[in-house]
Structure 1
Amino acid sequence: MGLSTRIFIGLGAGILTGLFFGESVAKLKIVGDVFIQLLQMTVLPYIVVSLIAGFGRMDMAQTRTLVIRGSAVLALIWVLALILIFVAALAFPELKSASFFSSPNYPEAATNDLLSRYVPANIFYSLTNNLIPAVVLFSILLGVSLISVKDKDLVIGIFDGLSEAIGRINGMIVQLTPIGIFAIAAAAAGTMTVEELGRVQVYLITYIALSMLVTFWIFPGLVSAVSGIPYREVLDTFKDALVTAFATGNQFVVLPLIAQNCKQLLARHQVPEEESAAAIDVIVPVSFNFPSLGKMLVLLFVLFAAWFTDTDIDAQQRLTLAFNGLFSLFGSINVAVPYMLDMLHVPIDMFQLFMVTGVVVGRFGAMLAALHIIVLSVIGTLAICGRLQLSWSAMLRYLGISAAAVFAMVLGLRGYFELFVPAPPAHGAVLAELTIPETDVEATVYEYATSPLRVSESENQRLNDIIDRAVLRVGYREANLPCTYLNANREVVGFDADMARAMAIDLGVDIEFVPFRFDQLGWQLDTSQIDIAMSCIASLPDRYLDATYSASYLDLKLAFVIPDHERGLFKLSSEELAEKEIRVALVSSQYFLPRLKKILPRVEVIQLESAEEFFSSEQPPADALLLTAEEGSAYSFRYPGYTTILPTTPVGIPAAYALPRNNSEWTRFVDNWVDLKRKDGTVDDLYQYWMKGGAAAPRQPRWSVIRDVLGWVD
Structure 2
Amino acid sequence: MTLSGRILVGLLAGVATGLFFGEMVAWFKVVGDVFVQLLQITVLPYIVASLIAGIGHMSMAHARNLAWRGAVVLLFIWAMALALIFCAALAFPDVDTASFFGSSTPMVVEQANLLELYLPANIFYSLSNNLVPAVVLFSILVGVALITIDEKEGILKVFDAVAAAMARINQLMVQLTPLGIFAIAAAAAGTMTIDEVGRVQVYLVTYIALALLITFWMFPGLIAAMSGIPFKEVFNTFRDPLVTAFATGNQFVVLPQIAENCKELLKRHGEDSEESHSAVDILVPVSFNFPSLGKLLVLLFVLFSAWFTDTALDMGDRASLAFGGLLSLFGSINVAVPYMLNSLQIPADMFQLFLVTGIVVGRFGAMLAALHIIVISVIGSLALVGRLRVSLRSMVRYLGLSVAAMVLMIGGLRLYFDHFVPPPPPRDEVLANVSLANEWLPFTVHTELPEPDFTRLEGTRLDHIFDTGVLRVGYRPENLPCSFITPDGELVGFDVEMAQYLAIDLGVALEFVPFSFEELKPMLDSGQIDVAMSCIASLPDRFAMASFTRAYLELRLGFVTLDHQRQMFEDLYTLRAQGPLRVALIQTHYHEERLKHLIPEADIVSLESAEEFFIDTSHGADALVLSVEEGSAYAYRYPQYTVIEPPVQIGYPAAYAVPKGDIETMEFLNNWIELKRMEGTIDAMYNYWMLGGAAQSREPRWSIIRNVLGWVD
Q: TM-score w.r.t. structure 2 length?
A: 0.96
Which 5+ residue runs of structure 1 have no aligned equivalent?
none
**Counterpart of 1:275?**
275
Amino acid at match of 1:356: V
1:407 aligned residue: 407
Q: Quick check: 1:482–1:691 contact (8 Å CA) kept in 2?
A: yes
Post-superposition Cα deviations, 1:349-400, rounded to whole Å, max 9, x if no partner, equal 1111110110111111000000000000001111111111111110010011
SS at match of 1:431: coil
Match of 1:376 in 2: 376
The alpha-carbon deviation at position 692 of structure 1 amounts to 3.2
Q: Deviations over 1:291-345 (max 9, x none)?
A: 0010011011111111111111112211111111111100000000001111111
The residue that corresponds to 1:607 in the other structure is 606
Name the structure 1 match of 2:204: 204
Q: Distance in 1 between matches of 2:685 and 2:495?
A: 9
In structure 2, the residue corresponding to 1:514 is in which secondary structure? Answer: strand
Rounded to whole Å, the distance in 1 between the matches of 2:665 and 2:709 is 56
Counterpart residue number, 1:313: 313
Aligned to 1:102: 103
Task: Give, in whole Å, the separation in 2 of the partners of 1:166 and 1:49.
Answer: 9
* DSSP 3-state at the match of 1:428: helix
**2:85 equivalent in structure 1:** 85
Q: Does structure 1 residue 576 correspond to structure 2 residue 577?
A: no
CA distance in 2, matches of 1:397, 1:333: 35
Question: Is the aligned partner of 1:709 residue 2:711?
Answer: no
Question: Do residues 61 (structure 1) and 88 (structure 2) align?
Answer: no
Amino acid at match of 1:271: E
CA distance 1:648–1:8, change in 2 (3 Å): farther
Residue 97 of structure 1 contacts residue 426 of structure 1 at CA under 8 Å; is this kept in 2?
A: no
2:440 and 2:125 mapped to 1: Cα distance? 62
Q: Is the 8 A contact 2:570 2:645 kept in 1?
A: no
**Counterpart in 2 of 1:427?**
427
SS of the aligned residue for 1:585 comes to strand
Q: Deviations over 1:498-545 (max 9, x none)?
A: 322332333343344333232332232222232111111111222223
1:596 shift after superposition: 2.5
Instruction: Quote the residue 2:258 is aligned against.
Output: 258
Q: How does 1:477-488 map to 2 (within 5 A)?
A: 477-488=476-487
User: How far apart, in 2, do the equivalents of 1:541 and 1:149 lie?
Assistant: 80
Q: Report the alpha carbon displacement of residue 439 of structure 1 after superposing the two structures with TM.
A: 5.1
Q: Cα 1:329–1:264, aligned 2, differ >3 Å: closer, same or farther?
A: same
Q: Which residue of 1 aligns with 2:464?
A: 465
Deviation at 1:227, TM superposition (A): 0.3
Code of the residue aligned with 2:578 in structure 1: it is K
Query: 1:455 and 2:455 equivalent?
Result: yes
Aligned equivalents of 1:484, 1:575: Cα separation in 2: 36
What's the offset of the Cα at 1:570? Answer: 1.6
Distance 1:199 1:458, change over 3 A: same
1:700 paired with 2:699, answer yes
- Once the two structures are overlaid, the 10-residue window that deviates more, 673-682 or 358-367, is 673-682
1:678 and 2:663 aligned: no
Distance, in Å, in 2 between the alignment partners of 1:101 and 1:60 is 54
Return the alpha-carbon distance in structure 2 between the equivalents of residues 236 and 434 of structure 1. 51
Residue 489 (structure 1) shift: 4.9
Q: Which residue of 1 aligns with 2:550?
A: 551
One-letter amino acid of the counterpart of residue 447, structure 1: E
Residues 458/618 of structure 1: CA separation in 2 closer, same or farther (3 Å cut):
closer
- Distance (Å, rounded) in 1 between the aligned partners of 2:531 and 2:185: 56
Letter in 2 for 1:641: Q
Per the alignment, residue 331 of structure 1 pairs with: 331
Corresponding residue of 2:656: 657
CA distance in 2, matches of 1:621, 1:499: 36
C-alpha distance in 1, partners of 2:617/2:583? 17
**Cα distance per residue 1:21-71 (max 9 Å; x no partner):** 222222222221111111111111111111111111111211111111111
Per-residue deviation, 1:205: 0.9
Structure 1 partner of 2:35:
35
Letter in 1 for 2:588: S
CA 1:617 to 1:446, structure 2 compared with 1: closer, same or farther past 3 Å? closer
Aligned to 1:668: 667
Deviation sequence 1:86-136 (CA, Å, 0-9, x none): 1111111123233212123211222x2121111111111111111111111
Q: Partner amino acid for 1:375?
A: V
1:638 CA drift (Å): 2.1
- CA–CA distance in structure 2, aligned partners of residues 168 and 254 of structure 1: 13
Map 1:146-157 → 2, pairs under 5 A: 146-157=146-157
Q: Does 1:505 align with 2:509?
A: no
Contact 1:471 1:510 in 2 (8 A): yes
CA distance in 1, matches of 2:325, 2:643: 25
Structure 2 residue matching 1:557: 3-state secondary structure: strand
| 1:619 positional shift | 4.7
- State whether structure 2 residue 345 is matched by structure 1 residue 348: no
Q: What SS does the corresponding residue of 1:345 show, helix, strand or coil?
A: coil
CA distance in 1, matches of 2:56, 2:158: 12
83-92 vs 527-536, which moves further: 527-536
CA distance in 2, matches of 1:237, 1:521: 77
Q: Matched residues in 2 for 1:597 and 1:341: separation? A: 32
Aligned pairs, number: 710
Task: Name the residue aligned to 2:387.
Answer: 387
Give me the identity figure in percent: 60
Separation in 2, partners of 1:11, 1:488 = 44
CA contact (8 A) 1:104 1:632 kept: no
Residue 104 of structure 1 contacts residue 645 of structure 1 at CA under 8 Å; is this kept in 2? Answer: no
Deviations 1:403-450 (A, max 9, x none): 111111111111111101111202231335656775543414142222
Moved more, 351-360 or 498-507: 498-507
Q: Write out per-residue CA displacement over residues 238-277 of structure 1, whole angstroms, 9 at most, x where no aligned residue.
A: 0001001011110000001100000110111112322211
Render the CA deviation track for 1:640-667: whole Å, top value 9, x for unaligned: 2211112355433221111112212211
Distance 2:693 2:59 in 1: 64
TM-score (norm 1): 0.96
Q: Which amino acid aligns with 2:635?
A: S
Question: How far apart are residue 11 of structure 1 and its match?
Answer: 1.1
Q: 1:51 to 1:491 in 2, by over 3 A?
A: closer
Distance 2:491 2:240 in 1: 60
In structure 2, the CA distance between the partners of 1:10 and 1:446, relative to structure 1 (3 Å rule), is: closer
Structure 2 residue matching 1:647: 3-state secondary structure: coil
Structure 2 match to 1:7 = 7
- Contact 1:531–1:659 (Cα < 8 Å) also in 2: yes
Alignment of 1:175-190 (within 5 A): 175-190=175-190
Whole-angstrom CA distance in 2 between matches of 1:514 and 1:699: 32
1:626 aligns with 2:625: yes
Which residue identity is paired with 1:578? R
For 1:204-251, what per-residue CA distance to the aligned partner results, in whole angstroms no more than 9, with x for missing partners?
111111100000100000000000000000000000010010111100
- Superposed CA RMSD in Å reads 1.9
Rate the CA distance shift 1:620–1:102 in 2: closer, same or farther, 3 A. farther
Is the contact made by 2:568 and 2:574 (CA closer than 8 Å) also made in structure 1?
no
Cα distance in 1 between the residues matched to 2:103 and 2:697: 19
Give the whole-Å Cα distance in 2 for the aligned partners of 1:308 and 1:576: 31
Residues 192-231 of structure 1 mapped to structure 2, 5 A cutoff: 192-231=192-231
Give the stretch that moved more between structures: 526-535 or 387-396: 526-535
- Cα deviation, residue 697, structure 1: 6.0
Answer yes or no: is the 8 Å Cα contact 1:445–1:513 preserved in 2: yes
Partner of 1:567: 566
Deviation, 1:466, is 1.9
Q: Which whole-Å deviations, capped at 9, do the CAs of 1:533-569 have from their partners, x for residues lacking one?
A: 1111111222223211112222222211001111111
CA contact (8 A) 2:243 2:367 kept: yes
What's the CA shift string for 1:181-213, capped at 9, x where partnerless? 111112222222222222111111111111000
Gaps of 5+ in 2: none
Aligned equivalents of 2:302, 2:619: Cα separation in 1: 26
**2:538 pairs with 1:539:** yes
